[in-house]
Amino acid sequence: NPKRVWWKEASVYQIYPASFSDSNGDGIGDIPGIVNKLDYLKDLGVDVVWLCPVYESPQVDMGYDIADYRAIHAPYGTMENVEALIEGLHDRDMKFVMDLVVNHTSDQHVWFQESRSSPQSTKRDWYIWRKPVIDKEGNMHPPNNWASIFGGSAWTFDDISGEYYLHLFCPEQPDLNWENPHVVDEVHQVMRYWLNKGVDGFRMDVINLISKEPGLPNAPITIPEQDFQPADLFFANGPRLHEYLRGLREILDEYDAFAVGEMPFVADEQEVLRSVASHRKELNMIFQFDMVSMDNGKAGKFSPQDWTLDTLRSIVNRWQTCMYRHDGWNALFLENHDQSRSVSRFTPHKTAHRTAAATMLATFIGMQAGTLFIYQGQELGMSNLPASWPMNEYKDVETQNLYQLALAQDLEKNQLDALLNEIRLKARDHSRSPIQWDSERHGGFTTGTPWMRVNDDYTHHNAKQQLSDPGSVLAYWKRVLRARKKFRDTVIYGDFRLLDLEHDAVFSYQRTGCQGVITVVTNFTGKQLTWETLDRLPPSWRMQDVVLSNYPVQAALQPGKMLLRPFEALVFFEG
């Protein structure tokens, strides 16, 4: 059985500061706004807060472009505010995780300014600079054909030296050169700076991109109609990754802190295990993207892809069993600031079934093994932005780049419509609209003008209303989080087994621990159906065996059969 440790049992709440709570009416969420809501978080039952970047930043990518690791972006507040936040959390027995972005910095960081100033700069080699490629006609090209994750070339030409620098994301996010030991040392010092302030862990942004294939070879041409090619083969999970990760872990262990690494572009279980299996002493857990990319098509995130419960079953089964067998650990999530809202994306619900659909998803994810991550607003069942909103309400650099590129290409109307549909389904903006606290103007998020429009449904869909409604999504999430604690031995540390392997509407699984067996039954459709319980439930199961249900519990139809209403979720416990 897995070893018991605090970070395995924790439920983590992710805060996107710009959109959480605005305390001073400037329209931007801030740290004092978070401090004001600590009792709300305690009452929800989460144990840890992960705060997205609040460092000084020009905000080209909402703070994932850090200009100073030891200063706070003024609109979010001050260093004293962060210290008060840490204290407020610790006073309530909660912990605090900072988001650390060290694959790249902002181009406004002094390190990059110095690096860029001249090829002779002592910091030149802190970033990845290369000479242009000159073809036979004398034309200049980037050093290789890598595409940036946000579109276009991954290289930007710099006039000062006539060289290019590498940026896997925006041109304003130059990649650090981890091959240089001074860079590694500097990152370690940044970590110590925050750990000494009382931070309990880090979420490490795109941490598997820090080691690149030496020589930076051209990527294979997989999308011939594009000038630049996806190159994750060469920039993700590079040869020195594990060495670097062990270096980070040594520091974390000194402080009993933990790290969850964000790892896009890993499909291979063995590679993931190298980073998270406990004896490796690297990361404690990672975010892998299998579930939240099962609806991404061949041409990437903004192309459509059908999925079925079989797709979902094989993903869940794979990671649940692999981690259990090899002493690794899962980070469970359905949403974050880069994903759209799960209730809109993964359930085909009608308005009347929205609460059922959101609570069904809470059950589905909440009874699995791993550390559970909840993204702000998920506990309220917040949904995607209304389809009627014009594109200028979308603020994200990724969405806007994509849309502008499409406009410039003069696409046929049906192609443009198809893209817009994908944006309405998957754009990062959907999870970035302000939290709907109450039914006042702008959902009580701000007394001023919000930096991003509040979802129109705040008038009837908000935290205040849900706090007083025992049938709300919020009330249900509290029960899920309590159940994870009460049945800890089974839910956190138990074994996992899929049930009903072929069912096209019901996702069902069982958890077995030393306390007993938990059976989870979730109807992923908006249709009522009869489910054959076969021998999975005790033949004469009783109402009191039900530990979670998102409808009033009803008796079995007849032995071996039960009725499941639209998006019904049921959890049974047998001691």
**Element containing residue 70 per DSSP (H, E):** strand 68-72
- Catalytic, out of 205, 338, 429, 568: 205
Task: Pick one of ligand ISL, Ca ion, none as the site partner of residue 28 (Cβ within 5 to 8 A by kind).
Answer: Ca ion
Q: What minimum distance in Å lies between the beta carbon of 127 and ligand ISL?
A: 15
Give the one residue of 28, 49, 82, 149 binding ligand ISL; rule: CB under 6 A. Answer: 149
Residue 101 is a binding residue for ligand ISL (CB under 6 A): yes
Q: Which residue do the tokens 């932005």 mark?
A: 385
Residue 569 is a binding residue for ligand ISL (CB under 6 A): no
Please tell me the distance from the alpha carbon of residue 79 to that of residue 228, in angstroms, as a whole number: 41
Q: What minimum distance in Å lies between the beta carbon of 507 and ligand ISL?
A: 25
Known active-site residue 262: yes
Measured in residues, the chain has a length of 575
Residue 203 is a binding residue for ligand ISL (CB under 6 A): no
Task: Pick one of ligand ISL, Ca ion, none as the site partner of residue 206 (Cβ within 5 to 8 A by kind).
Answer: ligand ISL
Q: What minimum distance in Å lies between the beta carbon of 29 and Ca ion?
A: 6
Give the one residue of 10, 28, 241, 248 binding Ca ion; rule: CB under 5 A. Answer: 28
Please tell me the distance from the alpha carbon of residue 542 to that of residue 331, in angstroms, as a whole number: 33
Task: Pick one of ligand ISL, Ca ion, none as the site partner of residue 64 (Cβ within 5 to 8 A by kind).
Answer: ligand ISL
Residue 394 is a binding residue for ligand ISL (CB under 6 A): no
Is the separation of the CB atoms in 60 and 174 below 8 Å?
no
Distance of CA 212 to the CA centre of its chain: 23
Residue 169 is a binding residue for ligand ISL (CB under 6 A): yes
Ordered strands of the 517-523 beta sheet:
495-499, 506-512, 517-523, 569-574, 546-549
Please tell me the distance from the alpha carbon of residue 368 to that of residue 379, in angstroms, as a whole number: 17
Beta bridge partners of 570: 521, 549
C-alpha distances (whole Å) from 228 to each of 166, 231, 236, 274, 297 are 13, 9, 17, 30, 19
DSSP track, 381-432: T--PPPTTS-GGG---HHHHHHHHHHHHTT--HHHHHHHHHHHHHH-GGGGT
- Catalytic, out of 262, 338, 379, 422: 262
**Element containing residue 261 per DSSP (H, E):** strand 258-262
Give the one residue of 264, 304, 516, 560 binding ligand ISL; rule: CB under 6 A. Answer: 264
* Pairing assessment for the beta strands 133-134 and 140-141 based on DSSP bridges: antiparallel
By CB under 6 A, the residues from 539 to 558 that bind ligand ISL are: none
CA angle 169, 170, 176 (to 5 degrees): 60
Sequence letter at residue 30: D
Give the one residue of 200, 338, 500, 568 binding ligand ISL; rule: CB under 6 A. Answer: 338
Is the separation of the CB atoms in 211 and 178 below 8 Å?
yes
- Tell me how many residues contact ligand ISL (CB under 6 A): 14
Give 28 or 548: the residue with its C-beta nearer to Ca ion: 28
Give 24 or 278: the residue with its C-beta nearer to Ca ion: 24
Give 16 or 496: the residue with its C-beta nearer to ligand ISL: 16
Specify the stretch interacting with Ca ion by CB under 5 A; choose among 19-27, 375-383, 526-534, 549-557: 19-27
Q: What are phi and psi of 213, to 5 degrees?
A: -65, 125
Known active-site residue 205: yes
Residue 266 is a binding residue for ligand ISL (CB under 6 A): no
Q: What minimum distance in Å lies between the beta carbon of 59 and ligand ISL?
A: 11
Give the one residue of 54, 183, 206, 257 binding ligand ISL; rule: CB under 6 A. Answer: 206
Q: How many CB atoms lie within 10 A of CB 217?
A: 14
Please tell me the distance from the alpha carbon of residue 223 to that of residue 217, in angstroms, as a whole number: 17
The 35-74 site mask, x for binding ligand ISL (CB under 6 A), equals --------------------------x--x----------
Is the separation of the CB atoms in 85 and 74 below 8 Å?
no
Give the one residue of 249, 349, 353, 428 binding ligand ISL; rule: CB under 6 A. Answer: 428
Task: Pick one of ligand ISL, Ca ion, none as the site partner of residue 26 (Cβ within 5 to 8 A by kind).
Answer: Ca ion
Give 101 or 252: the residue with its C-beta nearer to ligand ISL: 101
Please tell me the distance from the alpha carbon of residue 401 to that of residue 411, in angstroms, as a whole number: 15
Active site residues: 205, 262
Q: Please give the residue ranges that form the binding site for Ca ion (CB under 5 A).
A: 22, 24, 26, 28, 30
Q: Please give the residue ranges that form the binding site for ligand ISL (CB under 6 A).
A: 61, 64, 101, 149, 169, 205-206, 262, 264, 301, 337-338, 398, 428
